[in-house]
Amino acid sequence: MLPLPFFIYFELAAFIVSMLTYNSLKGTAFRLFPSFLLFIVTVELAGTYMAKVLHQQNAWLLNISTTLEFIFYAFIFSRTLRNPAYKKMTLGFIAVFPLLVLLNMVFIQGLTEFHSYTNALGSVLMVFFCCLFFYELLLNPLEGELHKVPMFWVSTGILFFYLGDLSFDLLYNLLKNDAMGKDLFKSINNNLILILYSCFIIAFLCQRSLVKSLLH
């Protein structure tokens, strides 16, 4: 049996929890999370198999999956941000970003090279969208406890993950041929993945608790 990276189990756990709490996710901005997480787990398994068993280049798969991740998270923000101008920013990102990725892969970095340029841009904008969410929280203080708000956890996970991911994107051309640098990044990135999907799990559980409290 192919040994799996530890972080994949966290992604799988997040998918399972999203399925178990799906009734509370329906009708919310999180309703597509189970499908999204199933896609992520499938991509991770396929990418691991390609790299470790088939010894094939899987950068093209990462280029596609990371692009869809950015679009999905932008969709979540488009449904949760209150300010109409902020919503337009997220929708504009969804419309324009895939075109930038395509241009980058066709004319600049190519399909078989990881799209670090557009990935860095996407990371910056994800951090920006998270900041917009937290800014709106400051402008509109919650009556309840912040740690019980599902989107707080989703935004926190995305913020920490993409702040860390951005550092590698900016240094990609220096580190891509450096074995020690790549190993260091993988170690940091894998731990950030644990934080990201742990936050998602907490968000799903918070959403279920929120729905239960409204029903009673």
**Sequence spans of domains, the chain:** 60-208
Residue 45 per-residue DSSP state: H
Would you write out the chain's pLDDT as a tens digit for each of its 216 residues? 567 888 999 999 999 999 999 999 999 999 999 999 999 999 999 999 998 888 898 999 999 999 999 999 999 999 999 999 999 999 999 999 999 999 999 999 998 888 889 999 999 999 999 999 999 999 987 767 888 999 999 999 999 999 988 877 777 666 666 667 667 777 788 899 999 999 999 999 999 998 877 665
Give 166-176 pLDDT, tens digit per residue: 877 777 666 66
| Alpha helices (H) along the chain | 6-20, 22-25, 33-52, 59-80, 84-103, 116-139, 150-170, 172-175, 179-215
pTM over 0.85: yes
Q: In this structure, are residues 53 and 2 in contact, taking their beta carbons and an 8 Å threshold?
A: yes
Asked whether 197 and 11 are in contact (CB, 8 A), the reply is yes
Task: Supply the mean pLDDT for the chain.
Answer: 90
- Assess contact for 192 and 165: CB atoms under 8 A: yes
Handedness of CA 200, 72, 12, 207 (dihedral sign): positive
Q: Where are the beta strands (DSSP E) in the chain?
A: none
The whole-angstrom distance between residue 56's C-alpha and the CA centroid of its chain comes to 25
Q: What are phi and psi of 30, to 5 degrees?
A: -95, 5
**Four-residue CA torsion sign, 16, 36, 116, 107:** positive
